[in-house]
A and B are shown apart, each in its own frame.
Chain A
Amino acid sequence: MAVDTAALDRRRFLRGTGIALALPLFTSSSARGDQPADHTPPRRLACFYQPDGVPMPLANDPAFDEWAWFPHGSGSDFRLTRCLEPLEPLRQHLTVLSGFSHPSARSIHGHSNADQFLTGAPTGPSGEYRNGISLDQEFAAHVGDQTRIASLVMSTDGGTGTPRGAHTMSFNRHGRPIPAEHRPKRLFDMLFVSSDPDAARRLALSRSALDDLLEDARSLQRSLSSEDQRRLEDYLHAVRETELRVQKAAKWIHTPLPKVEAGSLNLELTPEQPREFLQTMYELIYLAFRTDSTRVATWQIGRENGVGISDYLARAVGFNLTHQLSHNTKEPGGWKNFGTYCRFLSEELARFLQRLEATPEPGGEGSMLDHTLCLFGSASSAFHLSRNYPLILAGGRSLGFRHNQYLNYGPQNPEGGAWEGGQEPWQKAVSHEDKPLSNLFVSILQKLGTSTERFADSTGRVDAV
């Protein structure tokens, strides 16, 4: 698979005109079905994962000023380096955070930890493996039934990957990985072309069974003493609630799909045309949100540790393999090269955020961005080090998120520098107590309108966001 340098210049697409959309207006009944009019504008969550950490030159390194990933300064008085500079126009919609990590991962090799970025579960370095529910699925459990698709799960490498080498950010309530879709065409079809043919059948089966259960419960209830009847109420209530869920789900089967014309959207792209691939994937999330087909999306932009198609993404900026950039930082220009790749990711993230910002929230105040919280980050900062995660929160001002700030809870002199061999940073003793990332997840879930008090190993909230 040679590098198709021509691809790098094919920026014909999505610029300005973007794709020609025959979008029915967002609020029209064809997109939203015959649901009762719900006047609260939707709240959305999108999460993105960048693998392999970020540039962390030491303060005395010449590259520190320009190519350290974390901003300089703090609070509202901060300066983005060239890694994040493309996000500068979105400053009012943006918070950069440092000094967060999942406690259970802090002494585990960074490449094993993408699995728990959104779950906070102690997935460990080897041996037995158990994961927990991810942030997006926790939110989807609250809003998933309000849209045709409960959540969109995407990755560049596709599928689930393997435990400790996930290709997905999303895990269900049993901690099992949810396979991610990596093909733009399949995503588009799923969203706008055809619905799951088996879904209607499964729902019908479920309905018949539930009717039967209700009848069983009622006939039993009639023979019970009044004290016992009260206990059975629990069960009856559960059956009735499940019936309502099934009815709701069934409605979507008969709701026509939103009409979106692919137009110039190139759906046959692969990561071998990296920039266009990123743009297409972001655009699909935008379209899914815009048509209110879902309110939850995750996209693992790359798997940890290379060895996957996502490793080609750095070809967008003229490098061969992405993961190698994080290893070559001790070479001349190494920080700049790694930073240039991060800058590329920032450019495409900024493009997506600006697209949301430019779209007024249908039926609500402000822009779509104001109603959408985006979380962008990685489970490692310095070389293989699962501490001090690089994190960006963007959007969601109408949900109560405060922005234009750099919240630095990290150590005075964060671990960094090029690895010169010997003991790796992750093998060193923990010298700084990061804040549990799950605390941030609790705050996110609360602002998204859930009544979450705890998530994974959380010990509180983060009120500064």
Chain B
Amino acid sequence: MPIRCLQTLHAVCAAGLWLSAACCAPSAFSGGGASVYGSEPPAAADLSAARAAGRARSRLIHSGNLRPPADPRVPAGNPQATDSGPMPTADVAGFQQRIAPVLQRSCVPCHGPDQVEGNLRIDTLNPDLLHGPDTAWWLEISSVVARSEMPPSDAEALADSERALIVEWLSEQLRSASEVQRAAHSGSAFRRLTRYELNYALQDLLGQPFSFARDLPPEPFSKDGFQNSAELLQMSAGQLEVCREAFLKGLQRTTVRGERPPLLHWGCSMQAASADEWTRLDKQQQQLREQHASDPAALETALAEFQKQHSRRHGGAYYLDPASGLTDGIQWGYGGAQYAWPPQSTPPSPPPTGGRTAIVPPGRKLTVELGDQLPEFGPLLVRVRASLDSEPVRAAAEPASKSGRVPELQLEFGWQASNDSQASMRISDIRHPVTADPAGPVWLEWRVPLDEIEPRNLVRGINRLGDTPSPSELIRIINSGDSPGAVRIDYVEVTAPAWETWPPASHTELLGTTPNTDEQSAAREILTRFLRRAWRCRVEPQELDRKLALFNTIRPQARDFQEAILEVLAAVLASPRFLYLGQVAENSPGGCLDAHQFAARLSLFLWCSIPDESLLELADNGTLQQPDVLRLTIRRMLADPRSARLPREFVRQWLGLQLLGFLKVDRRVHSQFDDSLHEAMQTEPIEFFREVLNTNSSVLDLLHADYTMVNQRLARHYGLPEVAGSEFRRVSLPPELHRGGLLTQAGLLAMNSDGLDSHPLKRGIWLLERILNDPPPPPPPAVPRIDLADPEILKLSLKQRLENHRSQPACYSCHARIDPWGIAFEQFDAVGSWRTSVRGKPVDAAAELWNKTTLDGADGLKTYLLEQRQDQFITALVSRLATYGLGRPLRFSDAAQIEHIASQLRAEGDGLATLIELLASSDLFQSR
């Protein structure tokens, strides 16, 4: 299996998805941050000691770059006083004196006139990093020396002091080179909003939770994994057309016309639903009474037998009469819509509690068929009266009361039109935990916009109820099955279209409350409000006039005022002033964003959306970029619920979580894997990042922490004490579980498996790319294939196969850098469960890095990263967050700024919220 995967990965490389040797990756720039203050010490006693030891040797802390990089707005030699210094110059003299002799002795023997390993001659490189042509080579050298990957272990070792000397000098010069390039180059960060940003922006602008961007094509992923990367966000005629359609449709969905549509109610009591069944049961009992009328003893036996037969649990949902304890299965069939509840125009009254009820066992569904009268638009309100089912006779092997977990209800919508044409889909993310006692059932409620449901039953209004294909629609209430407990539901009430007010608030917020008879002033009022928000700027009078002129052109062709004004609003949204951001005026000094563009970048970063009014006001009055105001603003924005989008979108892209969504686990082998676990796995990294952010905890917690975020399903997967409900909450992690931090989260381990077994290569590459920002180079064009037909190869263990592969010279240089990082995770299987043996053999998770350090399993790997690679990880995270926040790939010219932010972060205690503040208030963030 691993062999096949090697080939897959090579195919990936061939497709160009792999980074080429990243000569301008800023992480490489600070020498990767590996220790240069002493060779590998004995492993620290535990992970927190490792963390302290790693901090003690951080280069960013001890000789970091706290001086702000040169201000590109100030030309070199200009004495004008700023915080930043003047443009730096190259230290060629220092190179000749201190660096060249060390290189000559340690490197040139293999990278010089006699031998040209790796096609590199160090003796002929230009030592002027600021203006010379060899800066990319120097970057590479700086990285490999800092990580102790060079000189190789079979060559003469480099003294620690010499290693430190080289790395220090190169870092300083590379930083200066970056500043020089920054002053010389401009580049562009002008970009279109992404599909998901458009969706959030429209939700905020129009005040509805709809999926406005559903029809827009998905954005591609950049080499760094981001979807908001300026150079990839194109706009074709087709895309523009889809955008315009989607905007107009979104505006139409936000507004209403005419009189309030009549309310329809469905009151579905299980007492009524089971009437036929109980008539039959009663009749059967009556027959027994008649049959045994003369023999009371026989009657008693017969009735007892009847009772026994008819009080059993059923596989699917079933009815229960709590008074008698009798049960019966629920019949449902689509044919003839004979089970459809008719709607009524008056609100039904719920029956008294205690009557017959439906029992929904774990993983089962209660179907409520609603016929063909559900409207096209408006909110669908579903209310369910529910409680736990605690009857011991029906309780599962493990009684619900003894389990810490609770059953949860979810809502599905669907239909069955004929025997082979059916659909059913979840229409709400809400999962209601059920904890109520049968004596006191509670109401649970879902509210779903009907036009968000897609597809609906399309023969509604064409076929009559009772025809086949059937136009009837139904809802299903599902017991999600994360707990052994069954749920009682004795009444379901459905109301549609359940508008809370008419016209709804979203309508009046857009178009005003009172009908204005003067169309011109009404249009002016609406447009003034809307342009300001959508274009997030001070709207010039002539721009407003132009939109009014458009209104006047359109008005005669439109049916009424509303149609015309919505067309104009759609044009406002299709304008580049809504769709694009990050522009810089031609004459802007140093390529700085103006206050409004900066406000937009800030809100896109923190909220994935457009600025709100208070942010716009700060931009208007020019105070936004004042350090104190900015810091307070960032804090306000992080405290706003919209900031939940930052972890969701950043973490998804940073870690490549879409691959976890696509993961197909072999459920025959991993029978514990289910949809709830899959969902929880995708949520944990996001919730964990959010927790670190909200508590301003150290970013190193992302590498290892003694807590994580779980819900009941994930807690069970991890073997943690049970927690109740699907909400995520913080729990402590005992060390014996070997969890903590992103790397050992089940979802990320599963994502980098092949669904059947672990996949060390995927795990290794992912760690190098996403966590350490040190992507391995692509494989050479002609890599030898592993001969799968060779029986000797098939006998080998996975680790041996990888070793075998590494032993081939063409494979060695790459795989020696990749494999160990993945092998260290071998204690985790394809679904991220801890294991001690693989196919009967003990797990071998000891891995030796290229620099001869041994990683002992995942704990050893985390210890190593915390001790030796803190700066590298932090610089990598700063780089990725900056790439995301700027919406463009980083350039070499950004490296000095990145290092500066990383140094500040270390000096201020590594907090994640601190990092966001530092980044958002940096010079980098305020220019293109």
Q: Do A and B come from one complex?
A: yes
| Residue positions of A touching B, CB distance < 8 A | 109, 111-112, 126-129, 159-165, 174, 176-177, 201, 204-205, 208-209, 212-213, 215-217, 219-220, 223-228, 230-232, 234-235, 237-239, 241-242, 245, 304-305, 307-308
B583 and A213 within 8 A (CB)? no
Taking the nearest CB of chain B, how far is it from the CB of A316, in angstroms?
23
Residues of A within 8 A of B188 (CB): 225, 227-228, 230-231
A305 and B418 within 8 A (CB)? yes
Whether A212 contacts B571 in the complex (CB less than 8 A), given A128-B425, A129-B425, comes out as yes
Does B577 count as interface, using CB distance less than 8 angstroms? yes
Ranked nearest first, the 7 interchain pairs of A and B with the lowest CB-CB distance are A165-B421, A111-B420, A227-B188, A241-B237, A228-B190, A162-B417, A216-B575
Residues of A within 8 A of B575 (CB): 212-213, 216-217
Whether A159 contacts B458 in the complex (CB less than 8 A), given A164-B423, A217-B576, A220-B583, comes out as yes
B422 and A164 within 8 A (CB)? yes
A126 and B237 within 8 A (CB)? no
B425 and A127 within 8 A (CB)? yes
Taking the nearest CB of chain A, how far is it from the CB of B78, in angstroms?
22
Closest to A201 in B: B557
Residues of B within 8 A of A232 (CB): 190, 576, 580
Taking the nearest CB of chain B, how far is it from the CB of A167, in angstroms?
8
Whether A242 contacts B241 in the complex (CB less than 8 A), given A126-B424, A209-B571, comes out as yes
Taking the nearest CB of chain B, how far is it from the CB of A136, in angstroms?
18
**One of A215, A227, A238, A305 near B239 (C-beta < 8 A):** A238
Q: Which of A128, A226, A230 has the most CB of B within 10 A?
A: A128
Residues of A within 8 A of B186 (CB): 225, 227
What 0/1 pattern do residues 663 to 681 of B give for CB contact below 8 A with A?
A: 0000000000000000000
Does B558 count as interface, using CB distance less than 8 angstroms? yes
Residues of B within 8 A of A212 (CB): 546-547, 550, 571, 575
Q: List 25 A-B contacts (CB under 8 A).
A: A109-B420, A111-B419, A126-B424, A128-B424, A129-B455, A161-B469, A162-B415, A162-B418, A162-B421, A162-B459, A164-B421, A165-B469, A204-B557, A209-B568, A212-B546, A216-B546, A216-B576, A217-B575, A223-B583, A228-B584, A231-B191, A232-B190, A234-B234, A242-B237, A305-B418
Q: Complex formed: what's the CA distance from A112 to B416 in Å?
A: 12
Does B240 count as interface, using CB distance less than 8 angstroms? yes
Q: Which of A160, A209, A241 has the most CB of B within 10 A?
A: A209
Closest to A220 in B: B576
Taking the nearest CB of chain A, how far is it from the CB of B538, in angstroms?
14
Closest to A124 in B: B423
Does B813 count as interface, using CB distance less than 8 angstroms? no
What 0/1 pattern do residues 530 to 553 of B give for CB contact below 8 A with A?
A: 000000000000010011001001
Taking the nearest CB of chain B, how far is it from the CB of A169, in angstroms?
15
A235 and B415 within 8 A (CB)? no
B546 and A128 within 8 A (CB)? no
B240 and A239 within 8 A (CB)? yes
B558 and A112 within 8 A (CB)? no
Taking the nearest CB of chain B, how far is it from the CB of A268, in angstroms?
20
Whether A209 contacts B567 in the complex (CB less than 8 A), given A126-B423, A238-B236, comes out as yes
Does B457 count as interface, using CB distance less than 8 angstroms? yes
Whether A238 contacts B240 in the complex (CB less than 8 A), given A162-B469, A226-B586, comes out as yes
Taking the nearest CB of chain A, how far is it from the CB of B336, in angstroms?
12
Residues of A within 8 A of B468 (CB): 307
Residues of A within 8 A of B580 (CB): 220, 231-232, 235
Closest to A207 in B: B553
Taking the nearest CB of chain A, how far is it from the CB of B547, in angstroms?
8
Q: Complex formed: what's the CA distance from A56 to B343 in Å?
A: 48
Q: Complex formed: what's the CA distance from A366 to B237 in Å?
A: 36
Whether A231 contacts B546 in the complex (CB less than 8 A), given A160-B458, A162-B457, A308-B469, comes out as no
Q: Which of B188, B458, B550, B588 has the most CB of A within 10 A?
A: B458
Whether A228 contacts B424 in the complex (CB less than 8 A), given A177-B458, A209-B567, comes out as no
Closest to B239 in A: A238
Q: Complex formed: what's the CA distance from A414 to B175 in Å?
A: 69
**One of B421, B570, B574 near A112 (C-beta < 8 A):** B421
Residues of B within 8 A of A225 (CB): 186, 188, 583-586, 588, 591
Closest to B579 in A: A235
Residues of A within 8 A of B570 (CB): 209
A227 and B187 within 8 A (CB)? yes
Does B554 count as interface, using CB distance less than 8 angstroms? yes
A126-B424, A208-B554 provided; 5 other pairs, C-beta below 8 A?
Answer: A165-B469, A220-B576, A224-B584, A225-B588, A234-B235
Taking the nearest CB of chain B, how far is it from the CB of A383, in angstroms?
13
